A and B are shown apart, each in its own frame.
Chain A
Amino acid sequence: MSVEPLKNLPDDAPEWEALRQAMAASNARLPDPSPLVLQHALARITALSSVHAHNGHRASMPTDGWQAHPLSGLLLLLRRQLPLIGAGIWAASLIVLVMGMILTYLFPYAGGPSTYVLALAAPIVAAAGIALIYGPENDPASELEYATPISPALILLARLVLVYGYNLALALATSVLLWLLLGHIAFWPLILSWLAPMLFLSALALALSVIWNSQAAIIAAFSLWGVHVFDALRSPLPAFADFLNALWSNQMLLVLLALVCLALAFLRTLRQEQRYV
């Protein structure tokens, strides 16, 4: 590994260069590592290889006391993942859901809660956010994660909890506000109008982003939801509209499909992890 000389120096360049040279001089006086470091590491690798040969799976490395303190470990993981999720995801959800609430307040359709702008916006904005939480195109540090003892599946779960939880909280807050402002709408039908679709679309987006990529996930989620929105607002085919309506209002079916998608996403992530061993 070679260190290049400093380039494009600013006005106070001499001071930075002097500091760099001072640090280099200081570093030069630090000792070398013991030759035993490599020997011990190679011995550990040999031991790990024999464990792999026997067990056929990745031997676990020290995992920072996770077994002893799983809750604090999970909280720490959530905090660590927070800055790695794109800032645009948080901002987009906030803007879209607040706009959705305002538009619903100003123009409440007579078609019921499922046609409210808020109910139409909440599932797709959550799905778009979820589609962008994982993968090398969204995370420049993803290569490092594969080389760390924290499982990529656990990282995926942490990010899912953060982004889905954020969208869920926002959608709930805006729904409560809308319910208080409008007065004449029923609370639970409003919540149920977006809750299961949001879960299913998010799970679908996650599965597609893990299996293919984020673009494919966003296109699929937008297409699927777009057809439903178009149909809900202005259906040219009543029979098709009835079918879609039955599908999107079947909470049990949507939850079941969401669980299948989530299982697929995590199985795929675990498989990737095994490939890297």
Chain B
Amino acid sequence: MDEIHAPQPNTRCDDAERLLLSLIAEGKQEALVALYQRYQRPLFVYLLRLLRDERTAEEVLQDVIVAIWQGAASFAGRSRVSTWVFGIAHHQAAQAARRHQLPQVSPEDCMEIGDEEQDAGRVTFSLALQEDLEAALASLTPMYREALELVLAQGFSYEEAAIITAVPVGTVKSRVNQARRQMQRMLVERGWREGVKS
């Protein structure tokens, strides 16, 4: 999965968000509210996937809004606004995970499993029951869930996901592949193979 997706930056959208950030940097709270309205849903989903606790996710979302307010003037436009915002969210989520002693978002001590591990078997994700998919997703460690969420669900490129999570690009690729393998294995364990549940 070298080039699974290369989302083209939505220039018009990003320009509008850059304008909002510059207004936030000038101290305009209305601009912060407008930016929040654009991001509240994707950010909350991302935080929920990571932290798996609604209350903590809301608490971190608050921290993210405050951090955007404080850091808006530092945004120099070298990345997309979305990359910058999600990078802040990643950082705040990692801090909250440590504060609340939740499973770590970026566990330095956690051994990453190599890409060479054998495939668990072909599983047609579209045919698996949503309930089983949810269970497979939930079985992933936070860093794998995060990689899948950023790259597949939120549409970030590997490079952007690497910036957000402060790890090398190769690590993001490895995590995404590994996450899919683990999900496949989990679905096989739940009786799914070749699109059929035994």
Q: Are A276 and B66 in contact (CB under 8 A)?
A: no
The answer to the question of B40 belonging to the interface, with a C-beta cut-off of 8 Å to chain A, is: yes
Q: Can you report 13 residue pairs joining A to B where beta carbons are below 8 Å apart? A: A1-B39, A12-B1, A27-B45, A34-B58, A37-B58, A41-B66, A45-B65, A45-B66, A48-B70, A65-B99, A136-B76, A143-B87, A277-B73
Q: Are B1 and A147 in contact (CB under 8 A)?
A: no
Q: Are A1 and B13 in contact (CB under 8 A)?
A: yes
Which residues of B are in contact with A by a Cβ distance under 8 Å?
Answer: 1-8, 10, 13, 27, 29, 32-33, 36, 38-42, 44-45, 48-49, 54, 57-58, 61-63, 65-76, 78-79, 82, 84, 87-88, 91, 95, 98-99, 106, 108, 122-126, 128, 130, 133-134, 137, 148-149, 152-155, 163-164, 166-168, 180, 183
Please report the C-alpha to C-alpha distance between residue A9 and residue B87 in the assembled complex, in whole angstroms: 26
Q: Are A147 and B84 in contact (CB under 8 A)?
A: yes
Given contacts A23-B149, A30-B48, contact A45 B4 (CB under 8 A): no
CB distance from A203 to the nearest CB of B (A): 26
Chain A residues in 8 Å Cβ range of B42: 1
Q: Are B148 and A23 in contact (CB under 8 A)?
A: yes
Main secondary structure of the interface of B (DSSP, over half): helix
Q: Are A24 and B153 in contact (CB under 8 A)?
A: yes
Given contacts A141-B87, A143-B74, A147-B70, contact A80 B62 (CB under 8 A): no
The residues in A between 1 and 53 inclusive whose CB is less than 8 angstroms from any CB of B are 1-4, 6-10, 12-13, 15-16, 18-27, 30-34, 36-38, 40-42, 44-45, 48-49
The bracket for how many chain A residues form the interface is: 35 or more
The residues in A between 34 and 85 inclusive whose CB is less than 8 angstroms from any CB of B are 34, 36-38, 40-42, 44-45, 48-49, 58, 61-62, 64-65, 76, 79-80, 83-84
Q: Are B128 and A22 in contact (CB under 8 A)?
A: yes
Please report the C-alpha to C-alpha distance between residue A261 and residue B22 in the assembled complex, in whole angstroms: 34
Chain B residues in 8 Å Cβ range of A277: 70, 73
The closest CB in chain A to the CB of B132 belongs to A22
Please report the C-alpha to C-alpha distance between residue A42 and residue B69 in the assembled complex, in whole angstroms: 10
Contact of A32 among B41, B154, B155, B163 (CB under 8 A): B41
The closest CB in chain A to the CB of B84 belongs to A143
Q: Are B155 and A140 in contact (CB under 8 A)?
A: no
The closest CB in chain A to the CB of B90 belongs to A144
Nearest 8 A/B pairs, CB to CB: A147-B71, A146-B74, A18-B126, A4-B7, A41-B65, A3-B155, A144-B87, A18-B125
CB distance from B156 to the nearest CB of A (A): 9
Please report the C-alpha to C-alpha distance between residue A33 and residue B36 in the assembled complex, in whole angstroms: 11
CB distance from B130 to the nearest CB of A (A): 6
Please report the C-alpha to C-alpha distance between residue A62 and residue B63 in the assembled complex, in whole angstroms: 9
Q: Are B57 and A33 in contact (CB under 8 A)?
A: yes
Please report the C-alpha to C-alpha distance between residue A147 and residue B91 in the assembled complex, in whole angstroms: 10
Contact of B98 among A3, A65, A148 (CB under 8 A): A65
Contact of B73 among A16, A44, A276 (CB under 8 A): A276
Q: Are A19 and B180 in contact (CB under 8 A)?
A: yes
Q: Are A40 and B62 in contact (CB under 8 A)?
A: yes
The closest CB in chain B to the CB of A40 belongs to B62
